[in-house]
Structure 1
Amino acid sequence: MALEYSNIFDAITEDAAEASELQTRSDLMIAIRDIVNAKGWDQKQAAAAMGITQPRVSDLVNGRIEKFSIDKLMTCLYKIGFRFKPHYENEQLTMDVQIVTDNQRPSAMA
């Protein structure tokens, strides 16, 4: 008998909402790792861009999912230039990804 899962996290929890959250965090971590790799950043450069420490970047790129919330991952994505924009229309939910330019981000100096 073969087990089949549409979400690998269904195998470790019976709570569908928890499995969905784990999958979302995993998807975001993979996307961030791919962006870091595409930009050719080392972990120190990635840390500076995302406003986190180098050990946290190591946790992120090595898939230590338990160390990151969806909120933190979304903040990291924003700091490296991406933002999700959900739209609901005609009973359909879609998600756009917007590129965030430096002039759209608030200045770090206040």
Structure 2
Amino acid sequence: MRHVTKPEANLFAELGFNAEEARQYQAGSQALIGQTLELKQQLMDELASWIEAHHLRHAEAAEILRVTRPRVSDVVNKKTSKFTIDTLVEMLARIGKPVKLVVG
């Protein structure tokens, strides 16, 4: 037997949590996903700005960042789902822009 959860469904409700718990867990999960996306976008913005400021072609940036040219295109086009935060932090470190974390 195979079950597919629809994108708009509450996964926590489908896992058997009561309605209130499922709503709370879903809201918390969405908040964390939003925070992760925001962080990835900030890191990608920094990389894209650096590429633009140095007037680099994607192939040149790829060589410096030690990634493929399509990966540079993905950064510039903000394809957040294709990157982990770790990968973006490593790329920034390679160009002399170490990331510092501030927990607020």
* Secondary structure, aligned partner of 2:67: coil
Could you say which structure has the larger radius of gyration? 2
Task: Write the letter of the residue equivalent to 2:65.
Answer: M
Corresponding position of 1:20? 35
State yes or no: 1:66 paired with 2:81: yes
Task: Write the letter of the residue equivalent to 1:72.
Answer: T
Give structure 2 stretches of 5+ with no counterpart: 1-25
Report percent identity of matched pairs. Answer: 31
Q: Per-residue deviation at 1:80?
A: 1.0
Corresponding position of 2:64? 49
In 1, the alpha carbon distance for the partners of 2:101 and 2:37 equals 20
In 1, the alpha carbon distance for the partners of 2:70 and 2:78 equals 12
TM-score normalized with structure 1 length:
0.64
More helix by share: 2
* Secondary structure, aligned partner of 2:100: strand
In 1, the alpha carbon distance for the partners of 2:53 and 2:33 equals 30
1:77 to 92, 98, 101: 92
TM-score normalized with structure 2 length:
0.68
Q: Per-residue deviation at 1:81?
A: 1.1
Q: Between the two structures, name the one with larger relative contact order (CA 8 Å, sep ≥ 6).
A: 2
Cα–Cα, structure 1 residues 46 and 19, in superposed 2: closer, same or farther, change >3 Å? same
Root-mean-square deviation (CA, aligned residues, Å) is 1.8
In 1, the alpha carbon distance for the partners of 2:101 and 2:41 equals 19
